[in-house]
Amino acid sequence: MRARFHLGPVMIDLAGAALDAVERDMLTHPLVGGVILFARNFESPEQLRRLTSEIRALRDPKLLISVDHEGGRVQRFKQGFTHIPAMRRLGILADRDRALALATAEAAGCVLAAELLSRGVDFSFTPVLDVDFGASSVIGDRAFDSNPTRVGELAGALLHGMGQAGMAGVGKHFPGHGHVRADSHVAVPIDERELARIDAEDMVPYRMLIPRGLAGVMPAHVIYPKVDSRPAGFSEIWLMRILREQLEFDGMIFSDDLSMKGASVAGDMIARAKAALDAGCDMVLVCNAPNDAVSLLDGLEAAPLHELRSERMRGQRKVSSEIDLRYAAALKTLQDAFA
């Protein structure tokens, strides 16, 4: 019999391709609301479907299941999945043929989403909305373009394609990770620009896509000292005053992985999670740190996950001949563009 809980605000990961007893117990903890999958959790499409089905059977309401599946060098599942090109290739294509690039971006979104949904994954942490200033190697070709408006256009097309298949997207890394050289996985990046410049450049894609229903946002583990001394993911100024109030974003805010070096300024794992939630994050991620995940679940006190926001992230796979035809057409468009 499934345990019945409200979903919690913590997203955790798994060690391998199948659940063990300890993980089953952790996934039924009231603070847990979701799972993020990595390449180590994948052996084949069939195995992935079994794993996601087992995860769903543990809870009611069902846990959210996510993955970083952007395309290019950040695509966790490969065998049996279509290779999605790096988003930069769509920007390059737009230099030659804007209409074709937009159609291809939409096709990529449809293919990406349909393949994940059919294996039981609710959503991907995509698209990357960072503007490429030629500084950040960790972003690099994950960014669509150096032009903020073009980033918004191509990402909007990708999101439209994802939505056609039944999947919401998560824009990242708010307000922008593309101007700093340091990698927030291993350092604490600092962006010295004034708010006015960040607003005029990095925030353009968010201003374009939030009115179109962007469902999720992930803030950067980057400090913008001209705005706040805290990284954006721990900043009430960035998350509540700017993202919620000024940009009128009403969807889910996910922290970036709290085990990253960029989050270390907030203290230990419990302090990091509390700081992120207090600043305005709806859900916090703890990845590749199983001991910290256990400590967090043992020591954190937090309210349940916001139900309406979380439901917008739940995949809505549409099983119909129309969707099958749409997927087939999108796959052909994608393959023809990058043949």
Question: For residue 94, what are the contacts with CB-CB under 8 A and spacing of at least 6?
Answer: 101, 102, 145, 150, 153, 154
Q: How many CB atoms are located within 10 Å of the residue 25 CB?
A: 12
Answer yes or no: 256 catalytic: yes
Q: In degrees rounded to 5, what are phi and psi of residue 299?
A: -115, -15
H-assigned helices in the chain:
21-27, 45-57, 87-96, 98-117, 148-165, 195-200, 204-209, 236, 269-279, 290-299, 307-312, 321-337
Q: Measured in whole angstroms, how far is the alpha carbon of residue 229 from the centre of its chain? A: 24
Q: In degrees rounded to 5, what are phi and psi of residue 282?
A: -85, -35
Answer yes or no: 185 catalytic: yes
Q: Which residues of 159-195 are buried (b: 16+ CB within 10 A; e: fewer)?
A: bbbbbbbbbbbbbbbbbbbbbbebbbeebbbebebeb
Sign of CA dihedral 86, 89, 94, 100: negative
**Cα–Cα distance measured from residue 196 to residue 50, given in angstroms and rounded to the nearest whole number:** 49
Q: Which of 20, 185, 324, 336 is catalytic?
A: 185
Q: Which of 256, 257, 282, 292 is catalytic?
A: 256
| Closest by CA position to 75, among listed 88, 85, 65 | 85
Q: In degrees rounded to 5, what are phi and psi of residue 9?
A: -95, 15
What counts of helices (H) and strands (E) characterise the chain?
12, 12
Given phi > 0 = left and psi -120 to 50 = alpha, else beta, which region is 316?
beta
As annotated, the active-site residues are: 185, 256
